[in-house]
């Protein structure tokens, strides 16, 4: 059996303000910092250990990862950062308030932008300063690979090959892997692991700061998954994520 642990970064400053974040490189809120420390302590209490860590190029995930590794006393572990684990790019919605956007365009439209599988939000213009091709942390990536907007389908198209090429081989060698990423890059992997239909992934909400454990058999088929959190508290956190796109 192989285990994989995935953690969505803790609450960010823009999560707190209920803004569409996407690839905007905002930091953790004070609550997010506490969530990061809590996740590390939970993993330590339950005797989890790791050999390698993967995260995105966005600092809210990187800072979260650093905090978890501090709590585990594993800051020396090898770390791999990739844009392929970034959050879904929200295009021209980035920086807009989710509730205000829902009031303007309707909750149904915002739910489509946030949770549908193949409908991306409005795209950025190429000269928009939010274009990742114009930002320093993506300067070594071929601009043709950098999105101006993304659907979850497009997020799957970059996150799943990264798992197959970089993470799965290490797991097959027996290495214990931790992924610290984002709500939608984790949803992309969850869809793949659980073979969910497009209609099913719409209802999946990933809470911030809660370790999600997947167990795989020797053929690397996911056979079990569970969160390291009390059921009732987990339900509250998932509902909070689902409600972000409502007008009130």
Confidence at 248, pLDDT banded by 50, 70, 90 = low
In the predicted structure, residue 232 carries a pLDDT above the cut 80? no
Position 10 scores a pLDDT of 81
Q: Catalytic residue at 54?
A: no
Q: What is the CATH number of the domain that holds 199?
A: 3.40.50.1240
pLDDT greater at residue 4 or residue 100: 4
- Quick one: what percent of the chain has pLDDT higher than 90? 73
Confidence at 174, pLDDT banded by 50, 70, 90 = very high
Measured in whole angstroms, how far is the alpha carbon of residue 124 from the centre of its chain?
Answer: 21
Q: What is the layout of strands, in order, in the sheet containing 79-81?
A: 79-81, 52-55, 177-181, 2-8, 212-216, 222-227
63 Cβ contact partners less than 8 Å away, ≥ 6 residues apart: 9, 27, 28, 33, 36
List 71, 87, 89, 182, catalytic entry: 87
pTM of the model: 0.91
Scored b (16 or more CB within 10 A) or e, 35-58 reads bbbbbbebbeeeebebebbbbbbb
Q: Catalytic residue at 87?
A: yes
Rg (CA), the chain: 17
Range of the domain at 220: 2-245
In the predicted structure, residue 7 carries a pLDDT above the cut 90? yes
Confidence at 33, pLDDT banded by 50, 70, 90 = confident
Position 3 scores a pLDDT of 97
Position 157 scores a pLDDT of 98
List 2, 9, 63, 89, catalytic entry: 9
In the predicted structure, residue 246 carries a pLDDT above the cut 90? no
In the predicted structure, residue 236 carries a pLDDT above the cut 80? no
Count up the domains in the chain and report the number: 1
């Amino acid at each position: 059996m192989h285990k994989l642990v995935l953690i969505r970064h803790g609450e960010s400053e823009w999560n707190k303000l209920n803004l569409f974040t996407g690839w905007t490189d905002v930091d953790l809120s004070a609550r997010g910092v506490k969530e990061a420390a809590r996740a590390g302590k939970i993993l330590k209490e339950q005797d989890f250990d790791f050999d390698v860590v993967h995260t995105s190029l966005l600092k809210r995930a990187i800072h979260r990862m650093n905090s978890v590794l501090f709590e585990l006393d594993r800051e020396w572990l090898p770390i791999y950062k990739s844009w392929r684990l970034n959050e879904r790019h929200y295009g021209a919605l980035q920086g807009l308030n989710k509730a205000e956007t829902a009031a303007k365009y309707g909750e149904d439209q915002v739910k489509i932008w946030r949770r549908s599988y193949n409908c991306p939000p409005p795209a950025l213009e190429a000269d928009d300063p939010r274009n990742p091709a114009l930002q320093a942390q993506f300067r070594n990536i071929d601009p043709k690979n950098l999105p101006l907007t993304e659907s979850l389908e497009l997020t799957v198209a970059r996150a799943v090959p990264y798992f197959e090429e970089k993470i799965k081989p290490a797991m097959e060698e027996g290495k214990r892997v931790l992924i610290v990423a984002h709500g939608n890059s984790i949803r992309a992997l969850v869809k793949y692991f659980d073979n969910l239909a497009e209609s099913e992934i719409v209802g999946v909400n990933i809470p911030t700061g809660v370790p999600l454990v997947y167990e795989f058999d020797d053929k690397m088929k996911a056979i079990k998954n569970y969160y390291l959190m009390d059921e009732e508290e987990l339900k509250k956190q998932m509902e909070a994520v689902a409600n972000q796109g409502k007008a009130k």
